[in-house]
Structure 1
Amino acid sequence: MAVRLPRPHRFDVYIGLTGLLGGLLLWGIGLGVRPAGQPMVLLPGTWPLLVPLVVMAGCEVLRRAAPRTALLTATAALITDTVTEGNLVTVLMYTDVMYAAVLYGTPTSARRIPWITGLLTVAGAIVPFAMWREPEALLIGVATGIVAFAPASTGLIVRNHREAAESARLRAEQTALLAEMDRVQAVTAERARMARELHDMVANHLSAIAIHSTAALSLDEPQTTRQALGVIRENSVAGLAEMRRLIGILRDDSGDTESPTGLSASLGQGGNPVAPTLDGLGALVGTARANGLDVTLDAGHGEALPAPVELAAYRIVQESLTNALKHAGPGRVTVALLRRNGSLDITVTSPCGDRDGPRAPGSGAGLVGMRERAALLDGTFEAGPEDSPEGKIWAVRATLPVGEDGGAS
């Protein structure tokens, strides 16, 4: 099966046609490289030099599409040209074919051709001089260097520069891609953090509002309705205050509103003073009691903890109490915090409810948020039903690492 050569480049066709026309011009005016009377001119006359000229022009057309084939064919044409009166354009076109063979050829050819032409240049100078002992014999090596080694070396230099530029471009693209991936990941993480904050801030208050509004609508007792409306108002005001706090954080002029790092710090990851701390657990438990839960609190965690740990612990307790308000049955809800072995242990238990459904609708995002908060601090989290002496309970257990010096581990 015949081998089909690639389609030549348009610029290479122009080079080949230009070289052919230039060579024909020199042939037309009878200008050759060597006089007809020289002994090495085996094919005298002006017509024989047209064959290597035409072949060399064809090699110029293939200089980029098939550089190896073009170089081998051009070398044979140049050798043929040396036994004719010669054409300067044929020699010039050969230097361009040699240059293109290194520039557009395979990496192996690009490495070998300069070495081969360099050895031929040295041999072309030493061997004739050793044989004839004439200084003029060195000119053979010089001619070989000009025709072969110089264009091959130039092609190698240009190729190395192009490859270096391409490598730099690829590195820049990879750097930009990695930067974009980091930005997307940072934005995604920040959106998840904001979702957790919004859920934890509002879910507790809205759950209490939903439960007590249901009670107010279902019971025709003025006193019960009044109590329920009081609880609804308290939770509405508290929820509104939480929302205003978050809106103030998002509009804080001290940080870039589009910077995930600045927003993370504002949401409590950097110890912002507006973020809730474990000192507010008493008020949180008081609100849960006002909403109808029987809650006991054991917050024996000791000295102050890092701000991220305190925020995560507060939110885990808050969400656990919200779930207890929606799902727990009658009975005591216990909240216990204990600092030991460089970590903070959090345990919240509540009686498992026997009702058909929750007292207020939920999305299931609370458990996901608590698990994410623990994972961000390299802690552990688990929640599920357990057996206890008091019966079936729902237990939330989290362990948040804390450094021995009070810093997050």
Structure 2
Amino acid sequence: VQSGALEATATGPQARAAAGAVRELSRDALDELRRMVGLLRLPAATAQELAAGQGLAGIPALVEAAGPQTHGDLAAAGEEQDGGAPPAEVQHAAYRIVQEALTNVRKHAPGARTEVLVRRARGELLVEVRNGPGTQPPPAMPSGGHGLAGLRERAVQLGGDFHAQPAEGGFLVRARLPFREA
């Protein structure tokens, strides 16, 4: 606020430019600080979130809601397998990865053929969302700009890894989320 006031009342173009730069840098630093504090405050996924469909059981609904051009191979999202269900925080992370990746397809490549894969293998949950090129112009949608970075941090916090990159004319999001089987 003070740097904005200084910018408005500064005499001379150099002083206004310097005050504007201070205002921009301050705003960027505050945004980054808020994002980091938000990450620190993220609660572990709870049974309530899973009951609300924000775990593996909710992923088929995300795929269906994304439209007919989206298909899923969701073996791990169905019945519990031997060893029990993955922990709530792993399920919730998988759900959020699929949700954010499908949101990005809608934002950046509407109409793109999209494949969602969720697999469980030897104490890991593997999540992959791959889309081709969009078939429609992208809508003017605001971008938060931190979605993929937040997903990467969530995967790393769980001891896994996360990759997002252009692939075959589209985009690929892939995560490995390890967990201890019962």
Letter in structure 1 aligned against 2:178: P
Residues 349 and 395 in structure 1, CA contact (< 8 A), matched pair in contact too: yes
Are 2:110 and 2:138, in contact at CA under 8 Å, matched by a contact in 1?
no
Pick aligned residue for 1:307 from 80, 88, 92: 88
Q: 2:97 aligns with which of 316, 329, 349?
A: 316
| Aligned position for 2:107 | 326
Equivalence for 2:62? 284
Q: Partner residue of 1:401?
A: 178
What is the CA distance between 1:331 and its match in structure 2? 3.5
Could you say if the C-alpha distance between residues 335 and 188 of structure 1 is closer, same or farther in structure 2, counting changes exceeding 3 Å?
closer
- 1:127-167 CA distance string (max 9 Å, x none): xxxxxxxxxxxxxxxxxxxxxxxxxxxxxxxxxxxxxxxxx
Residue identity in the other structure for 1:395: L
Distance in 1 between residues matched to 2:124 and 2:72, nearest whole Å: 19
Distance 1:367 1:359 in 2: 19
Give the structure-1-normalised TM-score. 0.31
Equivalent residue for 1:351? 132
Asked if the contact 1:309/1:377 (under 8 Å) is kept, the reply is yes
- Aligned position for 1:338: 119
Which residue does 1:366 correspond to in 2? 147
Aligned residue type for 1:280? G
**Contact 1:330–1:351 (Cα < 8 Å) also in 2:** no
Counterpart CA distance in 1 for 2:128 and 2:35 is 30
Give 1:381's aligned residue. Answer: 162
Give the unaligned 5+ runs of structure 1: 1-186, 197-263
Question: What CA distance in whole angstroms lies between the structure 2 residues aligned with 1:333 and 1:193?
Answer: 32
Structure-2 change in CA distance of 1:305 and 1:362 (3 Å): same
Determine if the alignment matches structure 1 residue 192 to structure 2 residue 29: no
**CA RMSD of the aligned region, Å?**
2.5
Query: Of residues 282, 294, 302 in structure 1, which corresponds to 2:69?
Result: 294
SS of 1:305's equivalent? coil
Other structure's SS at 2:66 match: helix
Instruction: Report which of the two has the higher share of strand.
Output: 2
Distance 1:393 1:309, change over 3 A: same
Do the aligned partners of 1:285 and 1:295 also contact (CA within 8 Å) in 2?
A: yes
Q: Is contact 1:326-1:360 (8 Å) kept? A: yes
Report the Cα offset of residue 356 of structure 1. Answer: 7.3
Alpha-carbon deviation of 1:192? 2.0
1:96-115 maps to which residues of 2 (within 5 A)?
Answer: none
Alpha-carbon offset, residue 403 of structure 1: 1.3
Q: What corresponds to 1:149 in structure 2?
A: none
Q: Give the deviation of 1:189 after TM superposition.
A: 5.7
Larger mean Cα displacement after TM superposition, 374-383 or 298-307: 298-307
- What displacement does 1:282 show? 1.9
- What residue identity is the alignment partner of 2:38? R
Contact 1:329–1:351 (CA<8 Å) still a contact in 2?
no
Between the aligned partners of 1:286 and 1:193, the Cα distance in structure 2 is 32
- C-alpha contact (below 8 Å) 2:112/2:135 kept by paired residues: no
- 1:278/1:399 CA distance change after superposition, 3 Å: same
Distance 1:311 1:193, change over 3 A: farther
Q: Report if the CA contact (8 A) 2:113-2:133 is conserved.
A: no
Give secondary structure in 2 for the equivalent of 1:273. helix
Provide, for residues 318-342 of structure 1, a one-character-per-residue CA deviation record: whole Å limited to 9, x for no partner.
0000001111154321100111122
Can you give the 5+ residue segments of structure 2 that lack an aligned partner in the other structure? 1-33
- Three-state SS of the structure 1 residue aligned to 2:74 is strand
1:296 and 1:334 in contact (8 A); partners too: yes
Q: Tell me, yes or no, if the aligned pair for 2:105 and 2:112 is still in contact at 8 Å.
A: no
Name the CA distance, whole Å, in 1 between partners of 2:73 and 2:135. 27
SS at match of 1:364: coil
Query: CA offsets per residue over residues 348-375 of structure 1, 9 Å max, x none?
Result: 0111348776542213211111111101
Give percent identity, aligned residues only: 39
